[in-house]
Amino acid sequence: MDEALDTTLESASRGDQSAWRRIVDQYAPRVYGLLKSQCGDAELAEEIAQSVFCTVAAKLTGDQGYVEQGKFEAWIFRIATNRLRDEIRRKRRQAVNVDHTALEERAVRPSMDGVAARNDDQHRALRDAMARLSPADRQIIEYRYIGGLSFKQMAELLNEPLGTVLARQHRALRKLRDLLGGSVDADGRASRAGKAG
């Protein structure tokens, strides 16, 4: 962990509100984005993200304090992932049938702009391809490109060797590229093969 984050965490643990705001400003968008990507529900993602930061605040200011020194990002994303997993399990026990087609049609807004329509098509194709990946492949892509985690942080979070994480990410991007029928570059951006710009 870098010294600046160390200092910020230490200040936040002593009740420094500006340090706490820096932590929230830096990590909340990434935690929320990852959760929303994984569950597809903005309201649930926001609720869980708030819960995550309540836990972080309690740990930072509690008697034991933050004990996983050097692995803060992996720790916060692990909390988020575990909370989401628990919530999904809870909701499965109370499952209600939903017409997903109707929900999808409500979510898609027609656009008068051809460029926006093409982007919508590309986003829809990417979303559909992501949904067809295995949960493990989807997770590795979401951690990297939505959560913004480094490979080292992902290895810590997943408790896997760095080489395994690199190989998993490479395979997941290859599968995604195949599903899109085009290419996914090293930065995870999708482009359709043969599509004019």
For the stretch 49-68, pLDDT in tens is 999 988 888 888 776 655 55
Mind listing the pLDDT tens digit for each residue in 98-118? Answer: 455 544 544 444 444 445 555
Supply the pLDDT for residue 110: 43
Task: Select the more confidently predicted residue: 15 or 196.
Answer: 15
Class in CATH terms, 116-197: mainly alpha
**Which segments of the chain belong to CATH 1.10.1740.10?**
1-95
Q: Where in the chain is the domain with CATH 1.10.10.10?
A: 116-197
pLDDT digits (tens, 9 = 90+) for 79-88: 898 888 888 8
Q: Return the higher-pLDDT residue of 51 and 187.
A: 51
Neighbours of 154 (CB within 10 A): 24
What is the percentage of the chain residues whose pLDDT exceeds 90?
5
User: Does domain 1-95 bear CATH number 3.40.109.10?
Assistant: no
- The whole-angstrom separation of Cα 109 and Cα 105 is 8
Judge contact between 193 and 182, C-beta under 8 A: yes
Q: Which amino acid appears at position 22 of this protein?
A: R
Largest CA distance in the chain: 60
Total residue length of the chain: 197
Positive or negative: CA dihedral 185, 187, 192, 196? negative
**Helix intervals (H) in 108-190:** 114-132, 135-145, 151-158, 162-180
